[in-house]
Amino acid sequence: MGEGFNYLFNPRSIAIIGATAREGSVGGVITRNLLTKFRGRVYLVNPSYTELLGHRVYRSVLEIPDEVDLAVIVTPAPTVPRIMSECAAKGVKVAVVISGGFSETGEDGARLEREVREASQGRVRILGPNCIGVYNAFNGLDTFFIPQGRMERPRAGPIALISQSGAVAAAILDWAARKGIGVGIAVNYGNKLDISEVELLEALAGNEDLRVVVMYVEGLKYPGEGRRLLEVMRRVTKVKPVIVYKAGRSKSSGRAVKSHTAALAGNYEIYRAMLRQAGAIEVNNLMDALEVAKALATQPLPRGNRVLIITDSGGAGVQAVDNVESVGLVVPELPQEVRSTLAKSLPPFASTANPIDLTGSATDAMYKFVLDTVLPTGHIDMALVLAQMQLPGMTPKLADYIIEARRFGKPIVVYGISANEDARAFKARLEEGGVPTYDRLETAANALRALYEYAVTRGLVRPR
């Protein structure tokens, strides 16, 4: 990670310019977030106060006696050029400009934005303006100004999120927290006066704590950005997977993009071709992006596109086949010698062709037997396990058997929609053990598709 971005994500010290204790205000939320959670030094700046929440307040960043790595600016837009000039004089490395009222509002705002750039003198890197900034679960850096009760923060995890929209970033982090999905770093870049998604992607790709990068992109802003993004994404996808949800696909939504962050949505088909060339994995919504990221963060890559399906319901098995094959994967019929081995230990009415239907007589031991028998063979490359905890022969112990099956080195994902106590314990144990669970078959199939696509990108298999 470049030095400038290390100061953005891992600063030693932060100055909150526009700090306040006022309840419900943007500055108030950020001030409390950083004072209570950030593991470095925090300095408060506001000429209207001398003390806030038991901390000294400085009139200007220039009065702070120590070095300041990161400035978080939460003041009206017209004041930002002057403040940026002071940050440059102080030697601040990076500034996060939360304030809105810049190029997203029209030409007057764009002019003010140019003044901010000039005031930085090329010495201060700028994130924003019109952004909510950075969330780093590893060190407590949190400039997201939505109160905790209205936006839950996810636990630290191996997923990174880069979002052009602040509201979208906040909503998806709240959703991830409630789903128990770990997000280590999230960043919203807003109008990208300086720092762009291209640089952020490159920086986060070098973070060893992060295994997958998810991007929400509305549009590019400057000439040549598309080529630069393609070049960087090609390099990054050779190291770790990149999942992209591109918004602004239609002509009407493209107009909305321009009014939102002053970006140009561009022709979606061009974006789509670019993402394909770069080896990125495209999804249709951000929920799927994070769900798919779970699989890419925890599972080995497959050596082919053949899927084993194990189920306790014939109807669910049929739906699983439909979903798996609709995304370009295959559900091969198992050879007779494997079926004969299975038939010796499974009930006579169980189907052994693939999907393997254990019926309502399913037990934990039956699932274990099928996994141990079929996964080591060369006939399948991944497994989709459908398991409802409503049947009398099934218990949360099944999670341990599935986790043990990871020793075969093939990706496994689990689907189940039951919500009883055993089902919740089953899913929680799987997630803790590094096996992703899903409550939609479509999402489970997309997770397997993403694993296969990334295996192709990494050159582990040839596309079929």
| Rounded mean pLDDT, 239-259 | 68
Least confident of 108-122, 242-256, 379-393: 242-256
Pick the CATH number of 146-298 from 2.40.170.20, 3.90.400.10, 3.40.50.261, 3.30.1330.40: 3.40.50.261
Asked if residue 1 has pLDDT above 70, the reply is: no
Specify the pLDDT at position 268.
72
The per-residue pLDDT for range 341-375, each reduced to its tens digit, is: 999 999 999 999 999 999 999 999 999 999 999 99
Token duo for residue 139: 């060190």
Specify the pLDDT at position 149.
87
Asked if residue 250 has pLDDT above 70, the reply is: no
Torsion of CA 368, 372, 373, 377, to 10 degrees: 150
Asked if residue 255 has pLDDT above 50, the reply is: no
Alpha-carbon distance of 368 to 371, in angstroms, equals: 5
Domains 1-130 and 146-298 share a fold: yes
Average pLDDT, the chain: 93
Asked if residue 256 has pLDDT above 50, the reply is: no
| Rounded mean pLDDT, 127-139 | 97
Confidence of residue 455 (pLDDT cuts 50, 70, 90): very high
* CA-based end-to-end distance of the chain: 36
Confidence of residue 388 (pLDDT cuts 50, 70, 90): confident
Q: Which percentage of the chain shows pLDDT scores above 90?
A: 86
Task: Identify the DSSP state of 220.
Answer: B
Confidence of residue 218 (pLDDT cuts 50, 70, 90): confident
Confidence of residue 445 (pLDDT cuts 50, 70, 90): very high
Confidence of residue 3 (pLDDT cuts 50, 70, 90): low
Token duo for residue 342: 């299975």
Confidence of residue 203 (pLDDT cuts 50, 70, 90): very high
Strands (E), 240-340: 242-246, 281-282, 307-311
Q: Where are the alpha helices (DSSP H) in 64-188?
A: 80-90, 107-120, 166-179
Token duo for residue 242: 């990149």
In the chain, where the domains are located:
1-130, 146-298, 300-457
Specify the pLDDT at position 226.
84
CATH fold of 1-130 reads Rossmann fold (3.40.50)
Q: What angle do CA 379, 384, 390 make, to 5 degrees?
A: 135
Confidence of residue 113 (pLDDT cuts 50, 70, 90): very high
The Cβ-side half-sphere exposure at 399, using a 13 Å CA radius, reads 21
Asked if residue 266 has pLDDT above 80, the reply is: no
Asked if residue 254 has pLDDT above 70, the reply is: no
The per-residue pLDDT for range 20-53, each reduced to its tens digit, is: 999 989 999 999 999 999 999 999 999 999 999 9
Q: Is the peptide bond prior to 411 cis by the omega test (within 30 degrees of 0)?
A: no
Least confident of 264-268, 320-324, 412-416, 432-436: 264-268
Q: Which is the CATH superfamily of the domain at 300-457?
A: Succinyl-CoA synthetase domains (3.40.50.261)
Specify the pLDDT at position 271.
83
